[in-house]
Every structure is written in C-alpha cells, then in structure tokens.
C-alpha cells in the first residue's frame, strides 16, 4: 500500500514538472496591437482641431517569423462631436486622412482611404468611421511598431469622441491569411469648451515681431495648443478650458521665454508681454562662446536665420553685440 502511495506522488510530481512546458507551448508566440495615440498636437476643444496617430505593432518569436503584410482598419467616431479634416482638401473624392510610412515603409500601397459613410459605402454596423486599407510591396513586417496614419480632428460639440477600433479591423499575412489582433488601445478623448491664452512677444533688436512660435503644454508635457505672433507680437492660443498650462515662446537666434502655471479657468486669460533675448545661434538655449564663434564665422555675409539675429539681411556688428550683451544667459527666461 505504501509503495502505491509513493508511486502516485512520483507520478503527480512528474505531471507538475511538465505543466510549465505545456503552458508555454500554448502561449502566443507573437503579439499584435492596433494603437490610437492620445492627442499629439492641437487642443480637443469646440471650434479647435487636434491630431492623433494610428499605429500597428507586432512582436513575435515564431519560427518561421509571423509577418504582417496589410491592414484593413475601421476606426469609429461620433460625428456629432468630431469630424475629420480632409487631408487632400478635395471634396470630390471624399474625406481622406494622412497616410504614414512608419510601419510599412516607403513601399506602402493604399487600397482605401476614406471617411464613411461616403456614397454607397457604409461603416460596419452603421455610424461613422475612418476606413483605411494598406499593404506594401516589401518583406513581411515581423518585429516593429510604427505609424500608419495621422488624423486631424475638428471639435464640433462638447462630449466624448467615441473613438473605437471596430471589430471588422483585420491584419493579413503574405499568404492572405488573417493575423489575429491581440489588443487595441484607444484613448478616451473628450471635446471640452475652448479657452484662450493671449499675450505679446517682443524680440530684441527688431521692430517686426511676427513669426514667433508659441506652444502651450499641459502638466504632462503634452502639446495642447500652438500659435504664432503677428507683426505687433500679439498671439492667441486656443486650449481646453479648466486646465493648467505652461507657455513657451521661441524664435531662431533667441533664448526661449516661458510662463508657467497659467490657469485657464475662464474663457480668456492674458499673460502679458515678454521680451526674447538674442544670441542663441546654435539653439541650445544658452548664449556662450559657441554662439559668438558662429556669428564671427559668417560675419559680413547673409548668414542663416539664426546668425542674422535682427533679421536685417546681413550678419554684422549688431548681431554680434546682441549676442555679446547676453553672454552666459540661459533660457527659458521668465515671462
């Protein structure tokens, strides 16, 4: 009896030792994803526009490697809340999105690029969606994450955008077989009322202050709004209402200026005037000997957009004295 007992224990131990191998043998040897990014630029506000990226990813240890050759994507959205900006501005062929080569490379082939419904074409299950069908003429993609499209959205009304990768979305391999999609990732983006940040930027050595770039960042470092100045230096940045933002001003040849903790609790917030200091020729946000040498090296010529600090068409003593006067100063300077 005791002998049978030990035989049973031995058999169970052998079985348990085999379980990890069995589980490993059944585990997926590849992983595919369809990924919609959060906002990459602009602001998701009523009357504003913003962009998101769509990417594919495949990681696998299969032998031979499993490769992706194409995708047929349906990305749903709520047309009462957002619309899609037409990438080619040609209403005769419907609304398009910007196709990217980040995943399939330069040999990408576009079979379908349209926002549905359009004509007789409709989305699976109805509603509105982006339909994007892509393949390529290169080798199967085996281990890569990359962009297939950038979509510019317009905010129409307050509410959730309803972005969703529809279940009819498929990946295909080189033999025309379905490659299962293991996961989809879509952010919960909502359109909110618009707020504005206003202000003014002057530039040392100039009287025409147009063309200065303004960027508003959220607390996570994401870009939520951009603008450029007019000739008087005035700007207006559209951002989501109810947030706290950091605003930076930039132009070539100048140190950045920054205003932190801008609370947009109402419709419009003014942050006043700042003055950009010149001399940052190499764009490292620091005026040092490298900038001085850069100016001297092209002295008396037309130079570049950075070395001709005062934008008078020639790198001369005025550009040199601006840089020398700001020697050792660093940015971003306080607004």
Cα separation, 281 vs 307, whole angstroms = 6
pLDDT given for residue 28 in this prediction: 58
Q: Which residues contact 123 (CB under 8 A, 6 or more apart)?
A: 74, 76, 116, 117, 129, 131, 166
Q: What is the pLDDT of the chain when averaged over all its residues?
A: 91
pLDDT given for residue 265 in this prediction: 84
Name the band, by pLDDT with cuts 50, 70 and 90, for residue 164: very high
pLDDT given for residue 113 in this prediction: 97
Cα separation, 90 vs 32, whole angstroms = 34
Nearest to 310 by CA among 330, 331, 295, 327: 295
pLDDT given for residue 8 in this prediction: 45
Name the band, by pLDDT with cuts 50, 70 and 90, for residue 189: very high
pLDDT given for residue 264 in this prediction: 93
Mean pLDDT of 301-323: 96
Question: In the chain, count of helices (H) and strands (E)?
Answer: 3, 25
Name the band, by pLDDT with cuts 50, 70 and 90, for residue 16: very low
Handedness of CA 210, 212, 217, 222 (dihedral sign): positive
Name the band, by pLDDT with cuts 50, 70 and 90, for residue 18: very low
Mean pLDDT of 258-276: 94
Domains of the chain: 30-191 (2.60.40.680), 194-334 (2.60.40.4130)
Residue 15 has pLDDT above 80, yes or no: no
Give the other-Cβ count within 10 Å of 333's Cβ.
18
- Residue carrying structure tokens 């196709």: 99
What DSSP character marks residue 277?
A: P
Strands (E), 28-127: 30-36, 41-42, 49-60, 70-77, 82-84, 98-99, 108-116
Q: Which residues contact 54 (CB under 8 A, 6 or more apart)?
A: 34, 35, 36, 37, 73, 75, 132, 147, 148, 149, 150, 151
Instruction: Map 59-78 to HEC letters.
Output: EECCCCCCCECEEEEEEEEC
Task: Mark 134-158 as b/e (b = at least 16 C-beta within 10 Å).
Answer: bbbeeebbeebebbbbbbbbbbbee
Q: Which residues contact 196 (CB under 8 A, 6 or more apart)?
A: 236, 237, 238, 239, 264, 267, 268, 269
Mean pLDDT of 236-240: 92
Name the band, by pLDDT with cuts 50, 70 and 90, for residue 296: very high
Mean pLDDT of 220-226: 87
Q: Give the CA angle between residues 79, 85, 86 to the nearest 5°.
A: 115
Give bridge partners of residue 35 from the DSSP assignment.
55, 185
Name the band, by pLDDT with cuts 50, 70 and 90, for residue 252: very high
Cα separation, 172 vs 174, whole angstroms = 7
Cα separation, 189 vs 132, whole angstroms = 21
User: Percent of the chain having pLDDT more than 90?
Assistant: 80
Cα separation, 267 vs 214, whole angstroms = 19
Residue 11 has pLDDT above 50, yes or no: no
Q: Is the peptide bond before 117 cis (omega within 30 degrees of 0)?
A: yes
pLDDT given for residue 14 in this prediction: 45
User: Percent of the chain having pLDDT more than 70?
Assistant: 92
Residue pair 121/131 in contact (Cβ under 8 Å)? The answer is yes
Q: What is the pLDDT of residues 62-89, one digit of tens each?
A: 888 899 999 999 999 999 999 999 999 9
Residue 56 has pLDDT above 70, yes or no: yes
Name the band, by pLDDT with cuts 50, 70 and 90, for residue 41: confident
pLDDT given for residue 25 in this prediction: 37
Nearest to 111 by CA among 99, 121, 103: 99
């Amino acid at each position: 009896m005791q002998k049978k007992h030990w035989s049973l224990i031995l058999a169970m131990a052998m079985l348990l030792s085999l379980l990890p191998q069995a589980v490993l043998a059944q585990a997926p040897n590849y992983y595919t994803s369809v990924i919609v990014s959060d906002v990459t630029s602009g602001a998701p506000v009523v009357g504003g526009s913003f962009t998101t990226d769509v990417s594919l990813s495949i990681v696998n240890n299969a032998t031979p490697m499993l490769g992706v050759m194409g995708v047929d994507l349906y990305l749903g959205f709520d047309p009462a809340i957002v619309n899609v900006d037409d990438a080619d501005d040609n209403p005769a062929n419907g609304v398009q999105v910007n196709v990217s080569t980040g995943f399939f490379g330069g040999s990408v082939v576009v079979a379908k690029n349209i926002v549905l419904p359009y004509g007789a074409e409709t989305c699976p299950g109805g509603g509105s969606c982006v339909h994007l069908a892509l393949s390529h003429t290169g080798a199967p993609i085996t281990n890569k994450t990359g962009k297939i499209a950038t979509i510019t959205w317009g905010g129409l009304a307050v509410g959730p955008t309803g972005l969703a990768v529809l279940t009819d979305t498929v990946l295909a391999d080189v033999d025309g077989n379905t490659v299962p999609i293991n996961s989809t990732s879509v952010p919960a983006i909502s359109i909110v009322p618009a707020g504005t940040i206003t202000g003014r930027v002057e530039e040392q050595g100039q009287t025409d202050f147009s063309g200065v770039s303004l960027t508003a960042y959220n607390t996570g470092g994401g870009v939520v709004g951009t603008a450029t100045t007019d000739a008087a230096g005035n700007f207006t940045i559209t951002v989501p209402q109810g947030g706290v933002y950091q605003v930076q001003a930039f132009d070539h040849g100048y140190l950045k200026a920054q205003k932190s903790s801008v609370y947009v609790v109402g419709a419009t917030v003014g942050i006043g005037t700042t003055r950009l200091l010149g001399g940052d020729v190499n764009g490292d946000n620091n005026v040092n000997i490298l900038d001085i040498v850069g100016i001297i090296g092209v002295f008396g010529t037309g130079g570049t957009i950075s070395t001709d600090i005062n934008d008078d068409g020639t790198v001369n003593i005025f550009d040199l004295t601006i840089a020398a006067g700001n020697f050792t100063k660093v940015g971003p300077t306080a607004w």
